[in-house]
Amino acid sequence: MNASILVFAAAIAVRAAEAGFSPEQIQQAHAAFAPAICVLSFSSEITKPDGEITQRDGTALGLIVSKDGLVVTHGHMVLDTIQPFNIRATVGQGEDEAEYDAVLLDKPADVNLCFLRIEHEGPLDLPCVEFAADPALELGAPVLVFGLLGETLDYARSFHVRHVSAIIDEPRITYCLDEALPFGFMCGPVIDAAGRAVGVVGYDLSRAEGGELYTRSGHPLIYHGGLFAKYIAEPPLEDSVRGDEDEGWLGIFTQPLTDDLAEYWGLEKEGGAVISTILPESPAAAAGLSVGDVIVELGGTPVHAKQDRDMVGFSKLIREMGPGTEVRIRFIRNGAAQAVGVVLGTQPKTLREAREYVDDVFGLTVREITQDVRIVLNLADDVEGIIVRRVKPGSPAHLAQMRPGVIIMRFGDYPVANVEDFEAAVAALVAERPSEIAVFARIRSTTGFFRIQPRWDEGNDQ
C-alpha cells in the first residue's frame, strides 16, 4: 500500500475513532471482512428506449457470502434495460490476487441485490462474510461500512463511518444511513459496534427503474441480513433472461410520439412508436416500412408511447414474440392509417455473445465485431478487425497507450479480420520475439499506428 493511501486511511481512522470506533476495532473488522470483498468487472448490454442496444464496461464491488464462491452485489447491475455479461471476479490483492469467471444468477424480486456464482474446476475455500441473524440496530447507532477505492488507488479496501439516521417499520424494517457513500461502497458490508456484519449497503430501485414493492430510492440504506439470508441458504438458479432462446427482431430504431410531434404532424395525441432508423436487410425493410412511420399497434397490442421510458416495453414485446412470428403492424404514414404483415427475424449476434480472447502476452482482451457494434461505431461492413475490450494496466499494450474501443486491423505484419487471426498473430509474434511491434488500428473515424515494445526478458511469452 503506498503512502498516499496510508495517509488517507489514517485520516478516516481519526474520524472513526471520534465516532465511537477505536483503531483496534477498525483493524479487527478490516481483517475479518475486507478479504471477502472482490472486484467485479463486466460488460453491460443496454437497451435504449428507442430499441438501440449499446455496450458499456464497468466494475462493481462484490461480497463473497459463501466459501464455495457465492457473491452478492448491488441490484442496479441488472435492470429491465441492462444485462451484464462476461463477468470476472478478482479476489484478493497483490500476490494473493486471483481472477475467476462468474455467472449471473436470477435476480431476487423482493430486494435490489444480484447474486453471482464464481466458476472454478476444483473446490473453493474463499473468505466470506456471515451475517448476524437479528441486527436490531438502534437510531443513532454508528456502523462501519467497507468498500472499494477507485482504480487509480488499486481498488484498495477502505471504510467509512455512518450512523443509522432513521428506522422505517413498514412495509418492512428499513435502516437509513445519515450520509451518502461513494459508488465503490454499494453492497459493501455494514459492521455494528459489536463487530458483527449486520447487512450490506443498498439502494432501492426508483419506479422508473422498475421498483414496485419497496421504493425508497435515492438514499443509502442498510439491507439487513435477514432480507437476503434465504438466497444465501438456497442460491437462485442461473440467470435465464436470455438463455438459449432466440429473440424476435424487427430491425428498427424508434422514438416515442410525443404530444409535440403529434401536434406538428396533425395526429391524435395518443402516442406511438416513430420509426427513426430501418436497418438494411431487416424484416422491417422487407415489409416496406419507412422512416417516419408511426406504429400504433403491434400484433394486436396498442402502442401508446409518449416518453422515452415507454419505449422499453415496445422493444421488449418484439423480443419476446420470438423469430418466425408473423405480426400485423398498424401504422400511420403521412396522416393515413395503414397495416402490413411482418415476419420477425432472429436477433443478430450482439457483443454479449461475441467471442472474446484474453492475450496475456501484450495485455489485451479483444472481441469480434458484431453488427450492433458496427451500428454504434458507424462502421461499414467492409471494415474488418477486432475491438479491444480491456487493456491490462502496466502491460506493453497499456504503455503503448492502447485503450478499449480501438479496432485492431493489423498486428505486426499479420492482417487481423477476426479473433482467430489475432490469436494466430500473437502466437507467431511470440515465436519471432521482435523488439517492437506496429499495430495498425482504427480509432473512431481515423486510422493510425501504435508502437508496442514487448518485454520478452520478463518471461512474457507464455
Which residues in the chain are classed under CATH 2.30.42.10? 248-346, 356-458
Q: How many CA atoms lie within 13 A of 458 on its CB side?
A: 10
End-to-end CA distance of the chain: 29
Are residues 383 and 442 in contact, defined by beta-carbon separation less than 8 angstroms?
yes
The residue among 72, 99, 67 whose CA lies nearest residue 86 is 99
Are residues 353 and 366 in contact, defined by beta-carbon separation less than 8 angstroms?
no
Given the DSSP bridges, would you call strands 326-333 and 142-148 parallel, antiparallel or unpaired? unpaired
CA dist 364 to 69, 109, 238, 262, 407, Å? 27, 37, 29, 49, 12
Which residues in the chain are classed under CATH 2.40.10.120? 1-241
The pLDDT of residue 80: 66
1-241: what fold? Thrombin, subunit H (2.40.10)
At the second CATH level, the architecture of 356-458 is Roll (2.30)
C-alpha cell at 89: 471476479
The pLDDT of residue 7: 46
Instruction: Please name every residue paired with 200 in a beta bridge, in sequence order, or none if there are none.
Output: 189, 223
Tens digits of pLDDT across the chain (462 residues): 454 455 445 555 555 554 678 999 999 999 999 999 999 999 887 765 444 557 788 999 999 999 999 999 998 888 766 888 889 999 998 888 999 999 999 888 788 899 999 998 888 999 999 999 877 899 999 999 999 999 889 999 999 999 999 998 877 788 999 998 999 999 999 999 999 999 999 987 554 434 444 445 568 899 999 989 999 999 988 755 444 457 899 999 889 999 999 999 999 999 999 998 888 889 999 999 999 999 999 999 999 988 876 777 788 789 889 899 999 999 999 999 999 999 999 887 766 667 889 999 999 989 898 877 777 777 887 889 999 988 888 899 999 999 888 999 999 999 999 999 999 999 999 999 999 999 999 988 899 999 999 988 765 555
> How many CB atoms are located within 10 Å of the residue 70 CB?
21
The pLDDT of residue 31: 96
Which residue shows C-alpha cell 479480420?
417
C-alpha cell at 183: 459508488
CB-based contacts of 296, cutoff 8 Å, min separation 6:
270, 272, 302, 303, 330, 331, 332, 337
- Give the predicted TM-score (pTM) of the model: 0.56
The residue among 75, 86, 93, 87 whose CA lies nearest residue 36 is 93
Q: Which amino acid is at 404?
A: P
C-alpha cell at 73: 452485489
The pLDDT of residue 381: 79
296 backbone dihedrals φ, ψ, rounded to 5°: -115, -10
Are residues 284 and 329 in contact, defined by beta-carbon separation less than 8 angstroms?
no
Which residue shows C-alpha cell 423469430?
323
Q: Considering the domain 248-346 in this protein, what is its CATH number?
A: 2.30.42.10
CA torsion, points 423, 458, 441, 53, in degrees to nearest 10?
70
The pLDDT of residue 17: 53
d(C-alpha 125, C-alpha 278), whole Å: 52
